[in-house]
Structure 1
Amino acid sequence: MNYTEEQLRAALAEHITPGSPDVQQIVRQGQRMKRRRRARLTLGSLAAAATALLGVQGVWVSTAQVAQRPPTTAPVPAAPSLPPEDTRAVPPAPLIASQSSATVPDRKTVKFRPLSFFTSYTIVCADPDAWVVIRSWGGSGTVSRCGRRGVSGSERKESVPSGWLQHTQQIEVWVLPADAPILEPRRGAGSDPYATCAVARKDAGWCDGKYWKVALIRQPGVLEKLVEETRSRPGAWAAAVYDRADATIPDPLPTVTRTVTVNPSG
């Protein structure tokens, strides 16, 4: 609201002593009143703008905080349940030791005390195409896809090391993702599997960007190098050992999964 000079004179006349009024003083005082009012209006507008800005900023911060939250992780499929016993043994052999993992690549060592010369094992995976590398108690090993029914194997009296029943034994199991760079044997390669490689490193078991299956078992450090280069990800799997004092295994043992086996002698 604006005030006229007459209104200002009337308002000020109530507070001054009788006599000739100082018109210049009245005008200056009126101008000061106008400036103070404009200043109050300006501060009020700034406060309202700041409140609105803070409200918008608060929404933006909340949105940023939501954006920074990690995305919801899809549930990881659980590995199939381990069989409670090995029905291939006569009589069926119960589970005596097991290990499990929720990631690939990963390694687990299953330690156990043998009860017979026919100890068996089974590895099951959530992804049937996952790679399974087994370093068994006899020093030999296998490399294969896990398969829907898992990877299984057993020993014979003739294949176990001496002192088999007197000492704690172990089986080392590695499981790698399905897309791990592992090279299948090539047909027609002859005695030298590297003959068909465009780029090869025999010392690393490496051919054209992948690692030979047999090199994972035959050449020390190759499997570890492959695992080091493979990105870790969710992938459930489990390994179990079965045995009983009176167990026997039928011969021939039913084939469960096709594997590539390498003996210690190569």
Structure 2
Amino acid sequence: MDEVTLLAQAVPDVPPPSAETVARARARIAAREAPAQRPRVRPHWGWTAGAAVATTAVVTAVVMMVSNLAGVPESASPPGPPPAFQQAPRVHKGLDRLAAVRMPRSATKASLRFRPTSTKIAIVIFCEKPGSIFFSSEGGSSAGGICGPDGAPSMLADKAHEPGWLGREHEITFWVFPPDAPVVRGRSSCPARGSCDGKEVLSTPGAADRLVGKLGKRPGAWSVAAYDVPAAHALHDTAGPEEG
């Protein structure tokens, strides 16, 4: 279908142009379209540059959106208390904490100072590694046992029922060792005459100190605290000294 037919269909009431008019019109159209048939780099470059600018704008907008979202804090509940072996809780079984000490490693020792207020005094040790071995000593009295994250009581608190134990300052030294430490439970485990195959009997502070020197600091945080009935006492909460 040529131009004349199209014009006739579009304007049916107007007579179609002559053949000469159509020829001249075709010549003018061909002259205008001739440059467009040659490859043009500039329009293509212009489109590419425009697309790059648009792409950069989109990427910038996305980056700004992500940054804005990252800056909005998530609604989260406040962090809970640290584990007991890192910091002894302030309250334990209805008793207030009088004093506490904590150590970041096992095969170490620390001293706990406190003044008891009643016979309900409780001395509790918390160990990161279940089955850790502890030994405690004050003066000529000592006690040992096994501790874990849930805590274990020291039998030295039972001395609160003895006359003169209440109403004065106490300093109890604690040693904590990993579960696989070479420890003998009781002298009966050793031969009647001879050594204990390189294992220590934790019955004196000297034996505990020897084992500390033999093992060196090992993984396994621990803490120990004295608890008593609520009273107006100064709260002492310290970290044990790091050795070496």
Q: How does the TM-score come out when normalised to structure 1?
A: 0.48
SS of residue in 1 equivalent to 2:213: helix
1:49: which partner in 2?
none
Deviations along 1:137-186, one digit per CA (max 9) or x if unpaired, are: 7x422222213422114335433x52630x21122111112221102349
1:105: which partner in 2?
107
RMSD: 2.8
Which residue identity is paired with 2:173? E
**TM-aligned CA distance change 1:220 to 1:185, over 3 Å:** closer
SS of residue in 2 equivalent to 1:108: strand
Take 2:230 and 2:127, find their aligned partners in 1: how far apart are those partners?
A: 28
SS of residue in 2 equivalent to 1:79: coil
**TM-aligned CA distance change 1:135 to 1:209, over 3 Å:** same
Choose 150-159 or 167-176, whichever is displaced more. Answer: 150-159
Which residue identity is paired with 1:96? L
Take 1:193 and 1:163, find their aligned partners in 2: how far apart are those partners?
A: 33
Q: Does 1:86 find its partner at 2:92? A: yes
Offset, 1:243: 1.2
**Does structure 2 conserve the Cα–Cα contact (< 8 Å) formed by 1:132 and 1:175?**
yes
Structure 1 unaligned regions, length at least 5: 1-76, 187-191, 202-206, 247-266
Take 1:235 and 1:94, find their aligned partners in 2: how far apart are those partners?
A: 25
Q: 228, 235, 244: which is aligned to 1:243? A: 228
Q: 191, 196, 200: which is aligned to 1:195? A: 191
Q: 197, 204, 221: which is aligned to 1:208? A: 197
SS of residue in 1 equivalent to 2:191: helix
1:227: which partner in 2?
212
Q: Does 1:155 find its partner at 2:161? A: no
- How many residues get paired? 147
**Does structure 1 conserve the Cα–Cα contact (< 8 Å) formed by 2:175 and 2:208?**
no
**Does structure 2 conserve the Cα–Cα contact (< 8 Å) formed by 1:128 and 1:150?**
no
Offset, 1:232: 1.4
